[in-house]
Structure formats: C-alpha cells, structure tokens
Structure 1
Amino acid sequence: MLMQKESTLEFFKNFYQRFEGHPYGGYMSVWEPTFLVREPALIKQILIKDFSHFHDRGVVVDEKNDPLTAHLFNLSGQRWHFLRNKLSPTFTSGKMRYMFPLVKKCTEDFHKAITAEISKNGNEIEVKDMNARYTTDVIGTTAFGVDVGSLFKPDAEMRMIGRKIFELTTLEAFKMFVFFLAPGVAKYFKFRIVEPYVEKYFIKVVSDTIEYRQGKNITRNDFLQLLMNLKNSNATENGSKDELDINQLCAQAFVFFIGGFETSATTLTFCLYELARHPDIQKKMAEEIDQVLEKHNGELTYESLSEMPYMDRVISETLRLYPAVPILFRECTKEYRIKREEFPDPLMPTNRKEDIVIEKGVKVLLPIVGLHYDPKYYPHPEKFDPDRFTEEAKSQRPPFTFLPFGEGPRICIGMRFGNMQTKAGLVALLSNFEIRPGKKTANPIVLDPKLFVPAVKDGVYLQFIPRKKQN
C-alpha cells in the first residue's frame, strides 16, 4: 500500500481476511507494533465501554510546522475533549434545519449545472468532480458564508484548493500513508502533510472573514461564527485563559472543509454508480422521492428527507461497500487487559490462557472495511443490496459490524450534516434524471491507490436522461 500498488480499501479488506478465525491479532506497521481487532464485542468495549483507555487516535500533530493538522479529528486528550464539547452544538437537528435553505439553493444549482453540462457536452458526465463541486458549494455557504459558485465555475479558488488536497503526487501520497500508518516515522522525519499553498489560503480566508464580520458587526449562524464565539470566550473547560489562536481556528475550519466536501462527494459518486448499475433499485428510490415531494407540495424540505427510508438503506449499503474512512485507529493511553476467557481465540493453543495486555502507546486498528465485507455478517458481500438495512435485517447482525462514521464519543461529528447534503443531492438528481452507466467508466471500477479514502482512479462517467414526469 505504501508503494501505491493497492488501494487502502482493498488492502485492509484483504488484510482483515488474513486473520480469519482470530478475534484479534498483531502486525508491524513499518516499525510500530499495532493490535488489530476483528471481534465486534471487543470493538464496542474499545470505542465505548473502555473509551478512557483509547480516547486518542495516536496521530502526530505538529502545530509549529504544520498548524492545520491540529484539528478535531487528530487532536488528543483534554484539547480534543474541550473542542468536541464546544463544536458539537453546530451539528444539532435545529442547526441543520436552519442551514437547510442554503443547502436547498445548492441542490437547485446542482440540477441547473447538470442540465447545462448536458446541453454543452452531451449527457455523459464525470460525476465525481461534479459532486465535489456541489458539496464544495454547500460547505462554502453553510460553513464560511462564502458563495463559492464552483458548480458554474469549475476553477473557483475553493474548488481548486479541494483538488489540490486530494489530487496527490506520488510523494505526497506516500507521506500521507506514513502519517496515518506509522506516525512515529512521520514525526521522526518531520513530514509536512498540508501544503504551504493550502495552509496560506485557509488562514487568509478565515482571517479575512473574521475581520470583515467583526468590522461590520455581522453575525451568522454557521460553523465559522461558532469558532469566532469560541475564540472570544477565551476560556477552556478547566477554567484557564488559554486563548485559541487564529491557526487553531483555521485548523478546525480546514477539517470541516475537507471532511464535509470530500466524504459526501465520494458517497454520492459511489451511490450514483451503483444506482446506474441497478435500475430496479434506482426506480424504487425515485418513486419514493416522487411520493414524498408530492406530499410536501413538490418542495424539498428538511423534514421531507427524514421520510425517505429506502434512500437511507441505499446510502447505508453504499457506505458499507465504500466506507469513506476504511479503517479507524486508536492509541492505548493506559495499559489495557483483555481477558482471554471473555474473548477466547479458538485457533490459539489451549495452554495459552494468560490475558492479552496492550501496553500504553500501542496503536489499535479497527478494520471497518473488513467488517463490512465479512460474509458472516453480510452474505455475498460484493453484492449491492439495500435490503441488508431493513430493521429486521439489522436486528439479526451483531452490533458494531457497520461503522462508516465510527462510534462512541469520537463518532464523526459531522455525520448528520454529511447525510443531509448527500440525501439532498440525490433528491435533486433522481427527481429529474434517470441515470445510466456511461461508456467511459471501467467495469469493474479501479480504485485510486494514492488516496486514503476510496476514489475511482479514472473517474465515474454516467449518463443523465431527463425524466418524463407523470401528471
């Protein structure tokens, strides 16, 4: 994987299978020992019951040389806890409902942009870039109060920055893998993950916006405003006066941007790809959308999104096959003991009865993609089948076998937001178009080995046929 011969998703799916029959195992990641967990009940203990032993990800944060890495996803200990508590109110249902009109405007632009592209270049469209332009516009307006307009201007600066972050050179991809898989190595060699150009852009955007709002006495109910309020409060949870500086605020804005536009764009892309390949599923989903919109007088509303259970199942199955984050890491922050009699290894010699001890500092790998493709939990795992996520089907699987957003106190903070913009984007497309496979898309698709998140190497081309609405 470090040599970019295999994608992260494929590598860890296969790696998980090499431990078949064992509830856990170990391996060396470059030179760092790592404990791999396959047993869902033990994963639950690590993520929830015994979270106090595993609250950190073990990622290197170098605020001096790479300040934008000091964001919520990477931070550890008290600083993570403080920021998590302060930022969580941004993602309540009430805040999502308030932001939804801005999202809805972007979905209308999404439809117009697809229609314009069909008129200009024909109905076969590369959807990954188009989806990323849509989600970039959503993040720009809901998080920063910026009208990005990349759906109509593909070379808009914020969209270009997004491309720069995820279109990596061979060296940049290598450094990214080392950063997550062997952080000790990254720290030793002082690897820089965020390019200076990207860092300069985000610091300028955030600084200029804050200065403008303060100068004009403008208040918006968005993510950046919450960060401004957090900075102005100038108090941490333990009561000290440890002010958040502009770089720390920019780091939080940075992770909201990259997490908000890329993961949702990826989910949208794979979802549309599978819907194009399964016209029966697409038809059922389009009918559900039509029925719900009719109930709401033809209007897409925040409430209407919660009335589309089949869409929820389709998205869940997409995230099972293509989890935006294929693996999770935790770092053991204090010695942890696993009782062998509670979690026995059936392939271990019977005379091995001592407990397993995970030492402080050892990394723990939770192989999400391996669980998602395990035939014990998902028969015929390569098949796209949304009915795996009916309430009855879910009740028959062990908990913690579906973890696209993680779980426990460090569950993805933007999960509700990402789901909202993904569903809204799907409504905009499926209510207006029938989607078919394009001629330029490889079959089967080939995943890009340069990215930590799943992405199709040469893009996904789909045909958009305007739907004939029945009166």
Structure 2
Amino acid sequence: MALFGDSLLLDAIVIVSGLLLLAHLYFRHKFSYWEKRGVPFARPTTLFGNFKECFLQRESVGQFMQRMYNEGAGKRFFGIYVFGRPAIVLRDPELIKIILVKDFNIFYDRLVHSNTKTDPLSNNLFLLKGPAWKYLRFKMTPLFTPFRVKQMSPLIFTCAEQLREYLENNDKTKKIIEAKEVCGKFATDVITSCAFGIGSNCLLDPNAEFREFGRKIFDFSVYRSFEFMSTFMLPLVVKVMNVKFFSDETTKFLRKAFWDTIKEREEKNIERADFLQMLIQLKNNEKNEAKSKADKNGTRNDIADEMDAAIDFKGDILVAQAAIFFTAGFEANAAVIAFILYELAMQPHLQTRLREEILDAMDKNEGTLTYEAVRDMEYLHMVVSEVLRKYPPMPILDRVPNRDYVIPGTNITIEKGTAVYVPLLGLHMDPDVYPDPEHFDPERFSETNRTTRHPFMYLPFGEGPKNCIGRLFGLIAVKLGIASVIGKFEVSPCAETPRSMHLNPKAMVLAAKGGIPLKCTRLSD
C-alpha cells in the first residue's frame, strides 16, 4: 500500500527527497566547523568536502595539498575538509617549526593508520604510534649514524658498479632506457643488500623476485592507490575495509627472506656490515637488557614492564623494520635518481658542471669514488637538494594532537584528533620563496642562497624528532648512484622524453606519469 495516496512513484520521490534533505542538513552542519571557529577555509562541496579531485584520482595527495596551500595564500593556516572530517593545513614556517619541534610532545603521532593485527609488518617505525613508536625510534636511531652508514657504503658501491655495467651493456644495443625502472632496479639492489643481506640481482635478472614484489607494493592501480590514500587520509576506511599496507603475499615473501638469511648467518657464523646485522644485534641486546632489569628477587621492575609493553624485539617486529626500510628506501631513492637524470638531461650545461666535479673527485682518489668524496661534493649536493625541493618523494607531513591545542598567537583551538598537514609540495613550489618554481636550478641551494630562506620552507625529510631516520643513508645512495652514472655516461632526452614533467595522480610517492625514457651514452675515455 502506498504511504501517500495511491502512487508508489510519489512515495519514492518523497522518501528520496527526505533523504537528500537530511544529507544536506548533515553536511551543512559538518561544513560549518571552521566557519564557527573563525578559521579561513576552502569552500567544500557536498559529500566530498575539498577532497573530490583526489578521491577520484584526478590529482595526487601531494597535488591536493599543494592546491589547498595555494588557496590559503596569505594565511598562517587554512581549514579544509576531507569528506566531512575537518583538517588544517599549515602555511607559516614558524608555526610549522613550533608544531614539529617545540610542541612535538603534543604532535608526535601521525594520522596514518594501519591494522597491526591483520597486517603484522605495519608494526614498523613509520606506522607505529605512541609509546611503541617512541621506544622503537630511541632504539633504532643508533643504527643510522654516519658511522653506520659509512660501514654499509661498500655494499652501495658494489651495486653502483653493477649499475655502470648494466648501462655499458645497454649502450652497446643503443636502447632507450626507462629511467624510473633502471633506477628502481639499482635502488632495490641497494636496499636488499643493506636491509636483507641478499644480492637481489635486479639489474642482471629481469625477473628478480625482490623487484617484482617492489612493483606490487607500489603498483598504483586504482584500488592500490585507494589503499595508500586511505592509509594516509581516511583512517576510518582502513578500519572498516581492513586495508593493508603489505599484502599477505608480500608479507610471506619478506618474512621468508628475512628469516632464511638470519638462519644462514647463525648456522655459518656470518657477520656482515648491514642493517640486518644491526637488527640481530638489537634483538640480542634487548634480551640481555630485559634480563638485567629484573630485581634481586627475580621480579621485574616498572622500566622492564614498560619496555615489554612497548616493543617485543622478536618475530615480525624485526621483519617489519627491514620491510619498511626496503619499501621506503627503494621507491623514494628510485624516484629521486630518475628525476635527477631527467632534469640533467633537459639542461646539459648542468650535467657538464656536475660531471666536472665528479671527475675531479675521481682524479684526486686515483680514478675511483670514495664515501667521503661523494659525501662532500658541493654541487652534487645542490643538485640533489633541488630535486628534493621540486619532487619531494613524500609530499606531505601529517600530525595529530593528543590533546586540544591553542594555536600560538590566536584563540583558535585545534581539537584533539584533528589532522594537521604540512604540504611540502606547496611549500617547495611557493613562488614567493622560490621564484619560477617549475624551473630546475641547483643554485637555489648554494651556501649564500640557502641562508636567505626560512629553513622550514624546505622539509624533504621532515624535521624535529620525527624526521626521516634514514636521511643519511638515502642521500649517500642517491648521490653515489648519480655520480656513478654521470661520471661515465651522457644522459640526454629522446623523442619519447616529455618536455615537461607530469606527475602521476594515483601515486602517493611522487612519480612521473608515463615514465621517463632517456638516452644514456657511454663517454669516451
């Protein structure tokens, strides 16, 4: 029986209209959040808020945040909506400094979310929160000191030599190289050697397992892109849909690689200067430390109990640290090296200047490169810094306050649990700070020019206690990769090379849309 007269159609119209009205009122209430608090904000659209283009994968998360940064021009901070959830975008470098450093004790957690029960490898330094993160960061920081990175550098040098051999063989065939794929193979060889103690041979074997699983992790299909976006922007979706950072297949593969290597080392008493060896030492040290924390009566004190509650260094906890080192390292390093080769190919005079510095360093070291020589090349550092400005691999930073927080100099409160974003791509491409920001110019990072800018307008590795722990390792891997190529080869554009760079709207880590084809020609001796 019809509710209103005899027309089922009329009933349907009334019901649908009522639902639409309720939805309108609901979102009207949701989208009044920033206006009621006197915060300038981006005008939202029903349902999506300001997130529509990103959700539909027409722009990446980094590009979305850059657009919000630009829309808030002239403001210290700017309110946005991710669907119905309010968030705030920081624009003022002094305010960014306060939140990332001075008030870090309030903003030490990320919004980024994972399911640690169903995705065990997400128990890693990047995704963990609270006391577990603090304790793990404290324990792992000594693993990435300059001394430790230098110890691992011979492994990187070996991979760089394999990269040169690969390019020399390719030069004989005169084939065009896909820069991101070649750099991905090199970066994967570096990370697997240093993180898992395994020669993955990606440059020699096109079907190498580690390279295949690396592709799967960062396969920016529609659904995989949605998973990554949800991890960083939509924590409720991660919970409801059981989104996983590492698939079951990837977890199984990385777990086996990790434990097989440990078993072989223990059976053969092998020690190697790599990240895996440091994890083994960390595990063994934790056992001894826990034992020493028991009191004379055999009971455990509060410190030992707190340690065990935070992190238990065994099983998948160890695998998770190697897994995130592998994942974050190869994709970011590959992207940075590929972008550098592209920019140098498009401006040959910059490539020539860099090559002169590289060859001069080699002449001073009997025709070879050393760790110190690569580390200390000034122009190489300027080139890498400029690429990290224009293409920061992780284009946003996210933080969540653990209590209500009054923004300094205002009476505006950021409520506990509200997402706070630092839009790196927006900061790095601000024309008021970096004139003609699309132009690639390493001189922006000369010693003189660096001092003219606020240091918190350049944050490729984040800043404060939660900055990138692998910064030194990443820089030396990238610099050695570039020095190995540019010292022996001329990189130039081909017919298929894009004359301007377009970013992949599906990629969480900044990536070129459609690849980066280049010519790589061996220089005459």
Report the TM-score, using the length of structure 2 for normalisation: 0.84
- Could you say if the C-alpha distance between residues 118 and 55 of structure 1 is closer, same or farther in structure 2, counting changes exceeding 3 Å? same
Preserved CA contact (<8 Å) 1:28 1:34: yes
Match of 2:33 in 1: none
Aligned counterparts of 1:7 and 1:63: Cα–Cα separation in 2: 26
SS of residue matched to 1:51: coil
Given candidates 107, 132, 151, the residue that maps to 2:184 is 132
Aligned counterparts of 1:312 and 1:213: Cα–Cα separation in 2: 37
How far apart are 1:223 and its partner, in Å? Answer: 1.2
Match of 1:347 in 2: none
Match of 2:282 in 1: 230
> Which is further off, 125-134 or 79-88?
79-88
Aligned counterparts of 1:294 and 1:468: Cα–Cα separation in 2: 16
Match of 2:401 in 1: 332
Letter in 1 for 2:333: S
Match of 1:292 in 2: 361
| Alignment map for 1:179-198 (pairs within 5 Å) | 179-198=231-250
Preserved CA contact (<8 Å) 1:292 1:307: no
Match of 2:116 in 1: 63
How far apart are 1:312 and its partner, in Å? Answer: 0.5
SS of residue matched to 1:306: helix
How far apart are 1:118 and its partner, in Å? Answer: 2.3
Letter in 1 for 2:200: V
Aligned counterparts of 1:138 and 1:192: Cα–Cα separation in 2: 25
Aligned counterparts of 1:461 and 1:186: Cα–Cα separation in 2: 36
C-alpha offsets along residues 268-295 of structure 1, whole Å, 9 cap, x if unaligned? 0000000000111111111111111111
Preserved CA contact (<8 Å) 1:71 1:252: yes
Letter in 2 for 1:361: G
C-alpha offsets along residues 71-121 of structure 1, whole Å, 9 cap, x if unaligned? 10111111111111111122111112211111111111100001112223x
How far apart are 1:245 and its partner, in Å? Answer: 3.3
Letter in 2 for 1:61: S
| Alignment map for 1:414-453 (pairs within 5 Å) | 414-453=470-509
Between Structure 1 and Structure 2, how many residues are aligned?
A: 455
Unpaired runs of 5+ residues, structure 1, are: 342-354
Considering only CA atoms, is the larger Rg found in Structure 1 or Structure 2? Answer: 2
Match of 1:168 in 2: 220
Match of 2:351 in 1: 282
C-alpha offsets along residues 175-198 of structure 1, whole Å, 9 cap, x if unaligned? 211121111232233222321111
SS of residue matched to 1:320: helix
Given candidates 90, 94, 99, the residue that maps to 1:37 is 90
Preserved CA contact (<8 Å) 1:150 1:156: yes
How far apart are 1:250 and its partner, in Å? Answer: 1.3
Preserved CA contact (<8 Å) 2:114 2:243: no
SS of residue matched to 2:465: helix
SS of residue matched to 2:89: strand
Match of 1:396 in 2: 452
By relative contact order (CA 8 Å, sep 6+), the higher-ranking structure is 1
Match of 1:407 in 2: 463
How far apart are 1:11 and its partner, in Å? Answer: 2.5
How far apart are 1:58 and its partner, in Å? Answer: 2.2
C-alpha offsets along residues 210-242 of structure 1, whole Å, 9 cap, x if unaligned? 222223333323211222223332357932362
C-alpha offsets along residues 367-409 of structure 1, whole Å, 9 cap, x if unaligned? 1110001112111111111111111111111120000010111
Given candidates 281, 304, 314, the residue that maps to 1:239 is 304
> Which is further off, 176-185 or 150-159?
176-185
| Alignment map for 1:313-392 (pairs within 5 Å) | 313-340=382-409, 355-392=411-448
Aligned counterparts of 2:405 and 2:190: Cα–Cα separation in 1: 42
Match of 1:88 in 2: 141
How far apart are 1:123 and its partner, in Å? Answer: 4.1
Aligned counterparts of 1:64 and 1:405: Cα–Cα separation in 2: 29
SS of residue matched to 2:78: strand
Aligned counterparts of 1:252 and 1:98: Cα–Cα separation in 2: 19
Aligned counterparts of 2:143 and 2:61: Cα–Cα separation in 1: 31
How far apart are 1:441 and its partner, in Å? Answer: 2.1
SS of residue matched to 2:324: helix
RMSD: 1.5
> Which is further off, 28-37 or 261-270?
28-37
Alignment of 1:456 with 2:512, yes or no, is yes
Preserved CA contact (<8 Å) 1:8 1:454: no
Preserved CA contact (<8 Å) 2:171 2:522: no
Match of 1:255 in 2: 324
Aligned counterparts of 2:245 and 2:408: Cα–Cα separation in 1: 39
Given candidates 69, 77, 86, the residue that maps to 2:130 is 77
Match of 1:20 in 2: 73
